[in-house]
Amino acid sequence: MISTGIKYLDKLTSGLRLGDNVVWQISNGVPIEYFTRNALSTESSFTNSIVYVNFNYSPHTVCKRFDEIFRRENITMIDAFTHGKGNSDPVFLEFYEGNTIYDTSKILCLDTPKDIRSFMEAMNSVETQNRDGSFYVFDSLTGMNELWKDERAIVDFFSFTCPKLYDLNTIAYWILEKDAHSTKALAELSHITQIVLDVENTDSGYYTLKLKKLEERTAQASGVTHHFKIINRDIQFQEGKSHLLKIGGRIKELRKTLNVTQSEIAAQLGMTPGAISQIENDLITPSLYTLVQLSAILKKPIEYFIQTEILESDNKGYRLIRHDATGQSGDPGISFFPILDGSHNDLRVFSVTISNGEKTDGPLMLHKGRELIVVSGGSISLTIQNEPLLLQKGDSILLENAFPESWENTGSDPAELLYVLF
């Protein structure tokens, strides 16, 4: 196994193999360079050389972004930007004049990158010298398409180069912005390559990753959404996050029962119909605020959307409730567990955890009645009728006809709350 540089991703893919071509389908704004950096920074005996094919950024930007990597002896850059999308601007050409930081002799600056035949000749020359164990990065098939203005030419180039790199025993990362390409082109690329990874932004503060193709190995995680954050340049996947809130099917079922369209729901939420479709198909996780609004629109209490395991024993006179230790919520910093769901009486009880530094506006739940909040750990700052209130461990507040306008945990520990609706 050859590591991607990210243990969680290695577990999903069983690692990389020589011959693998990995297509990264990303949404706009996803900082994919962190995945690339991890792969190229991995200490591995397989790495013969690195070839970085650059269409989207100036060579100066690329070198700064991967600074320590571009100081190595075994790296080559094919610069298709400077005389391509860079339009031979003197600012970009200055990089090659007396540069004492990076060895520009390792950079092949193409004079006519818009000419496909010329580009292919340069690639063939580089591939001859960089084969068995080399790592290729094509920074943007989207940038290539913008330069060549011919999606068919992009697909043809990939259809030729991908199998060639496979036979040359290399590894290649191919990056593209999926919304900039036709469905047909994406399907053709996916058919040819060995691995397809889909990465998106969400409105919950997380990015999502899906494994869409994994050739010649078991894909146990195929189709599952995995959530991650990037903190201090470190990619941190959330163990168990992909199973927290599978509410899409319930929302779709309720919407159809009420004979409401996705467009009508979207209009009430201030979202697009496409975003509602993504929620219904569990492609994105709604924020807690959105979930509260959905519960009102669909006329169901918020706990209807939350999975919990309740074990009953009528003949013993008790109810045993098990909850998922990972917590459930639409917001990464807030988790809540239903303890009593109101199915036997009007009492509903939740255990709520709000991470330190987390802030959210509006009520956590919509409820016609009274609410009792007991702080069992940490502290929480509430704003009620424009009045700031600090509740510490052991404090409680009874809400009869008011609701918190904002919640903020300014302490150093998570705030643990018992939230009672009655």
119 and 109 Cβ atoms separated by less than 8 Å: no
Radius of gyration of the chain (CA): 26
Check residue 204 and give its pLDDT.
60
CATH code of domain 244-300: 1.10.260.40
Closest CA to 406 of 336, 349, 334: 334
Check residue 301 and give its pLDDT.
73
In percent, the amount of the chain with pLDDT more than 70 equals 85
Give the full edge-to-edge strand order of the sheet including 406-408.
Answer: 359-361, 406-408, 379-384, 387-392
**How far is 319 from 314, CA to CA, in rounded Å?**
8
Position 240 pLDDT exceeds 80: no
DSSP 370-420: -EEEEEEESEEEEEETTEEEEEETT-EEEESS---SEEE--SSS-EEEEEE
Fold (topology level) of 308-422? Jelly Rolls (2.60.120)
| Average pLDDT score over residue span 369-390 | 89
Check residue 172 and give its pLDDT.
97
Pairing of strands 107-109, 318-322: unpaired
Closest CA to 365 of 275, 281, 300: 300
**How far is 55 from 65, CA to CA, in rounded Å?**
15
| pLDDT tens, position by position, 306-329 | 654 444 444 556 666 655 444 454
Structure tokens at 39: 């792969």
3-state SS, one letter per residue, for 234-255: EEEECCCHHHCCCCHHHHHHHH
Position 132 pLDDT exceeds 80: yes
**How far is 86 from 422, CA to CA, in rounded Å?**
64
Residue 44 pLDDT class (50, 70, 90 cuts) = low
Helical spans, DSSP H, in 89-222? 90-93, 116-129, 141-148, 151-167, 183-192
3-state SS, one letter per residue, for 289-313: HHHHHHHHHCCCCHHHHCCCEEEEE
CATH architecture for the domain at 7-243: 3-Layer(aba) Sandwich (3.40)
Residue 370 pLDDT class (50, 70, 90 cuts) = confident
Residue 244 pLDDT class (50, 70, 90 cuts) = very low
Phi-psi region of 82 (alpha: psi -120 to 50; beta: other; left: phi over 0): alpha
| Average pLDDT score over residue span 107-135 | 94
Check residue 226 and give its pLDDT.
85
| pLDDT tens, position by position, 185-234 | 999 999 999 999 999 987 666 788 988 898 877 545 556 778 888 877 88
Whole-number mean pLDDT of the chain? 84
Check residue 323 and give its pLDDT.
53
Check residue 353 and give its pLDDT.
87
Residue 241 pLDDT class (50, 70, 90 cuts) = very low
Check residue 345 and give its pLDDT.
55
Position 288 pLDDT exceeds 80: no
For the chain, the structural domain boundaries read: 7-243, 244-300, 308-422
Using alpha carbons only, what angle is made at residue 293 by residues 287 and 298, rounded to the nearest 5 degrees? Answer: 120
C-alpha distances out from residue 231 to 30, 205, 235, 236, 237, Å: 14, 11, 7, 7, 11
Residue type for 418, please?
L
Using alpha carbons only, what angle is made at residue 336 by residues 330 and 342, rounded to the nearest 5 degrees? Answer: 110
Check residue 325 and give its pLDDT.
46
C-alpha distances out from residue 96 to 58, 59, 80, 107, Å: 11, 9, 14, 9
DSSP state of 39: H
> pLDDT higher for 297 or 161?
161
| Average pLDDT score over residue span 321-349 | 61
Phi-psi region of 18 (alpha: psi -120 to 50; beta: other; left: phi over 0): beta
| Average pLDDT score over residue span 17-27 | 95
Check residue 312 and give its pLDDT.
45
| pLDDT tens, position by position, 291-311 | 778 888 888 876 677 654 444
Q: Which of 94-103, 148-157, 334-343 has the highest mean pLDDT?
A: 148-157
Residue type for 56, please?
N
Other beta carbons within 10 angstroms of residue 347's beta carbon come to: 12
Check residue 346 and give its pLDDT.
63
168 and 131 Cβ atoms separated by less than 8 Å: yes
| Average pLDDT score over residue span 166-192 | 95
DSSP 3-state of 93 = helix
Residue 421 pLDDT class (50, 70, 90 cuts) = confident
**How far is 203 from 364, CA to CA, in rounded Å?**
17
Position 1 pLDDT exceeds 60: yes
Residue 58 pLDDT class (50, 70, 90 cuts) = very high
Residue 73 pLDDT class (50, 70, 90 cuts) = confident
Check residue 313 and give its pLDDT.
47
